[in-house]
Amino acid sequence: MAKKLFIKTYGCQMNVYDSARMAELLAPLGYAPTEDAGEADMVILNTCHIREKASEKVFSELGRLRADRRERGAEDVIVAVAGCVAQAEGAEIIRRAPDVDIVLGPQTYHRLPEMVARATRAHAAKQWRSDLPARGAGLLDTEFPAESKFDFLPLASESPVSAFLAIQEGCDKFCTFCVVPYTRGAEFSRPVARILDEARALVAAGAREITLLGQNVNAYHGEADDGSTWSLARLVRALADRIPDLARIRYTTSHPRDMDDDLIAAHGDVPALMPFLHLPVQSGSDRVLEAMNRQHGVDLYRRIVEKLRAARSDIAFSSDFIIGFPGESAKDFAATMALVNEVEFAMAYSFKYSPRPGTPAASMDLQVPEAEQDQRLQELQAVLNAQQQDFNRAALGRVLPVLLEKPGRRDGQLVGKSPYAQAVHVEAAPGEIGRVVEARITDLGRFSLRGEIEIPPANFSPRGQEAPLMEASA
């Protein structure tokens, strides 16, 4: 009987990606995924360290798991902590939670099968050696190894309609608030050939949309077989040209500094590249951007938005904002509000600044009092929410291409995605999954849109003209 693997994933899409890869790596050891921690033979907490209370959350989850194991008499469940909290606080985890078997950072998850085998042997040994610790092998692997974990991944044999593909990891930007350069390590771009192979395999296995992932994805500079270096723009163009069944391409998360002209142009001339870009700006004040070490000013952001809109008039933007960065004055915050009002975002994430241990901003003077942060965050979120609602409302009555991804909650319903990553519910048969349909948006729900598939008229021609009666000759 298959053993059951439960993975709890915190944080970003990169972690979602890593969790899926860990599940694939453990499949040959006989582990099948489960959604229920209560029946698991192995539990992985794939953690995130980017904002506050990360490690407390991990310790309290470990406590819950401990109680559950005791209750169901399942002391030999293997417990692993992975991801960025493991990287940053691995030794502390082993000290405070000695019942954890495996601690591994984001760069070493390819070593998981070997570590699981060792933990399994340690559990077995405990059954006949009473001098061994009650449980927990306490294996720690948080180095930045010379080999790349990506070289150990099997190619996809099945894939969701919308799949992720990590092309880049880590970051050399060192924004003063951010732990990523410390937990994920130096910027690393995967070789072109591997990415193309993986994309082909994903599409062969059912993907119609691929989101290229990386912490600083548009810093991509991967090596091709001929020794040349490819930019993200070149990679996007190659994916679109060489994989005809790949209907949609997205990429995230990008940095304004790395939005080069070719990438901007690709938004205009690669139809598969979706007109929706997550481009975090963090703040609308030059002073704060400088203190954040973002390496650009507000004007650069404005210019990029303008250029992208010129290249692709229907493009929409999302962003991240940090409110209450050390030294942020009322005037700085007003500048952020002004930028938001000017750009008009389709959606955005906004966070209170949280000092991350070991980052330069954590020891800066003039930390903004929490009450002030709360006040500003509320003000910002009110505007961002209104902009998001306006953006969704603007879809009403329009016909949008929707990629049908999976069954909806109700019978006869499928859920798909608009070009702007809005969830759209339509009436359609399960056989339609994987198709892009034209849907007229009829309703706005709280978290999704509802649409009706447009039946093209009988004399429909995709170019919007009557079909010619005779072939024209040259």
Residues that bind ligand 5AD (CB under 6 A): 50-51, 177-178, 280, 282, 320, 322, 351, 353-354, 356
Nearer to ligand SF4, 9 or 215 (CB): 215
Nearer to ligand SF4, 215 or 422 (CB): 215
> Stretches 72-80, 166-174, 191-199, 329-337: which one binds ligand SF4 (CB under 6 A)?
166-174
In the complex, the smallest distance separating the C-beta of residue 143 from ligand SF4, rounded to whole angstroms, is 20
Which residue number is nearest to ligand 5AD in terms of Cβ?
Answer: 320
Nearer to ligand 5AD, 9 or 282 (CB): 282
3 binds, among ligand 5AD, ligand SF4, none (CB under 5 to 8 A by kind): none
In SS3 terms, the chain reads as CCEEEEEEECCCHHHHHHHHHHHHHHHHHCEEECCCHHHCCEEEEEECCCCCCHHHHHHHHHHHHHHHHHHCCCCCCEEEEEEHHHHHHHHHHHHHCCCCCEEECCCCHHHHHHHHHHHHHHHHHHCCCCCCCCCCCCEEECCCCCCCHHHHCCCCCCCCCEEEEECEECCCCCCCCCCHHHHCCCCEECCHHHHHHHHHHHHHCCCCEEEEECCCHHHCEEECCCCCEEEHHHHHHHHHHHCCCCCEEEEECCCHHHCCHHHHHHHHHCCCECCEEECCCECCCHHHHHHCCCCCCHHHHHHHHHHHHHHCCCCEEEEEEEECCCCCCHHHHHHHHHHHHHHCCCEEEEEECCCCCCCHHHHCCCCCCHHHHHHHHHHHHHHHHHHHHHHHHCCCCCEEEEEEEEECCCCCEEEEECCCCCEEEEECCHHHCCCEEEEEEEEECCCCEEEEECCCCCCCCCCCCCCCCCCCCC
Nearer to ligand SF4, 354 or 413 (CB): 354
Nearer to ligand SF4, 15 or 448 (CB): 15
51 binds, among ligand SF4, ligand 5AD, none (CB under 5 to 8 A by kind): ligand 5AD
216 binds, among ligand 5AD, ligand SF4, none (CB under 5 to 8 A by kind): ligand SF4
Tell me the β-bridge partners of 407: 414
Compute CA distances 339 → 294, 309, 324, whole Å. 16, 16, 16
Q: Does 174 bind ligand SF4 (CB under 6 A)?
A: yes
Q: Does 178 bind ligand SF4 (CB under 6 A)?
A: yes
Nearer to ligand SF4, 173 or 287 (CB): 173
Q: Does 87 bind ligand SF4 (CB under 6 A)?
A: no
Tokens 């974990």, located at residue: 149
In the complex, the smallest distance separating the C-beta of residue 280 from ligand 5AD, rounded to whole angstroms, is 4
Q: Does 180 bind ligand SF4 (CB under 6 A)?
A: yes
Nearer to ligand 5AD, 11 or 408 (CB): 11
The CA-based angle 450-318-376, given to 5 degrees, is: 110
The Cα–Cα gap between 416 and 106 comes to 31
In the complex, the smallest distance separating the C-beta of residue 416 from ligand SF4, rounded to whole angstroms, is 30
Nearer to ligand SF4, 21 or 184 (CB): 184
Residues 231-260 that bind ligand SF4 (CB under 6 A): 255
In the complex, the smallest distance separating the C-beta of residue 258 from ligand SF4, rounded to whole angstroms, is 9
Residues 251-310 that bind ligand SF4 (CB under 6 A): 255
Q: In what order do the strands lie in the sheet with 42-47?
A: 31-33, 3-9, 42-47, 78-83, 102-104, 139-141
Q: Does 183 bind ligand SF4 (CB under 6 A)?
A: no
Count of residues interacting with ligand SF4 (CB under 6 A): 10
Q: Does 171 bind ligand SF4 (CB under 6 A)?
A: yes
In the complex, the smallest distance separating the C-beta of residue 135 from ligand SF4, rounded to whole angstroms, is 36
Residues 208-227 that bind ligand SF4 (CB under 6 A): 215-216
Nearer to ligand 5AD, 361 or 415 (CB): 361
Q: Does 103 bind ligand SF4 (CB under 6 A)?
A: no
Q: Does 51 bind ligand SF4 (CB under 6 A)?
A: no
171 binds, among ligand SF4, ligand 5AD, none (CB under 5 to 8 A by kind): ligand SF4
Provide the binding-site residues for ligand SF4, judged by CB under 6 A: 171, 173-175, 178, 180-181, 215-216, 255
